């Protein structure tokens, strides 16, 4: 799959593509990322890409024309490599919230053109004419869309075959359908006692059924405490067993007990 990124700061991406396990996806072109600076498509000696907003107010607004020229060039480049049309995504606070199911959809797609805004935003006329979808990481504002683009690319890259050392790792992540959309359980490693805090006995028992039951209970308890909306969704979708419901009922009756 191929992602073309429109950004005023392509240098922010370079270290990301050569670091960590996800670099395997970029090196192997499982996730092919091409970077484009709209300043290269701006006019004048200063290659200006922003101007003051009509109506007054603070900050600057990215101009539509350099963005449109950049996008047109990307479309031509993509047509030579892969004729399939892909959507244009803008990272914006007003966009739909990115979640695991969304990442999964993009990881199975042909890719997209990602637009990273800066300053007070983009001229709305470019958005109206060219943007297909807007995506948000949450209810907060970043200084630009680059961090959001990196987050999406990282989440997609780690789902590609051969990227993680253990192929099953991502199947046990929080939000994954393999875990019924619940949060993941706590994890422990050596030593078995650290600063007088022992590892839970179930994890040292050697009884795999007991270990899996402990992990399931911890996922249920943690999701109930931190993200009850996810637990309710799992309940509505019929993902909770009678044993799960019994455990949760016991938590309500004994709120201080350990999972």
Question: What amino acid positions are annotated as catalytic residues?
Answer: 93, 120, 158, 173
Q: What angle do CA 179, 183, 188 make, to 5 degrees?
A: 100
From the list 116, 101, 113, the residue with the least C-alpha distance to 1 is: 113
Do 146 and 116 contact (CB within 8 A), yes or no? yes
CA distance 67 to 38: 6
């Amino acid at each position: 799959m191929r992602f073309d990124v429109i950004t005023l700061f392509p240098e922010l991406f370079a270290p990301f593509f050569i670091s960590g396990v996800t670099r395997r996806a970029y090196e192997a072109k499982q996730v092919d990322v091409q970077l484009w600076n709209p300043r290269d498509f701006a006019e004048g000696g200063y290659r200006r890409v922003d101007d003051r907003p009509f109506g007054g107010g603070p900050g600057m607004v990215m101009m539509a024309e350099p963005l449109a020229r950049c996008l047109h060039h990307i479309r031509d480049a993509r047509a030579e490599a892969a004729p399939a049309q892909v959507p244009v995504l803008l990272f914006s606070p007003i966009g739909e919230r990115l979640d695991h199911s969304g990442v999964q959809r993009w990881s199975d797609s042909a890719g997209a053109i990602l637009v990273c805004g800066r300053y007070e935003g983009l001229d709305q006329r470019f958005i109206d004419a060219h943007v297909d979808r807007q995506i948000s990481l949450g209810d907060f504002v970043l200084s630009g869309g680059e961090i959001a683009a990196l987050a999406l690319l990282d989440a997609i890259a780690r789902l590609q075959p051969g990227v993680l050392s253990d192929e099953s790792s991502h199947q046990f992540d929080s939000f994954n359908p393999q875990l019924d959309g619940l949060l993941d359980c706590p994890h422990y490693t050596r030593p078995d006692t650290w600063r007088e805090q022992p590892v839970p006995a179930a994890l040292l028992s050697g009884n795999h059924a007991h270990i899996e039951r402990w992990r399931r209970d911890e996922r249920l308890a943690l999701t109930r405490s931190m993200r009850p909306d996810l637990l309710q969704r799992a309940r509505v979708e019929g993902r909770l067993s009678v044993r799960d419901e019994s455990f949760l009922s016991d938590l309500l009756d004994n709120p201080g007990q350990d999972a």
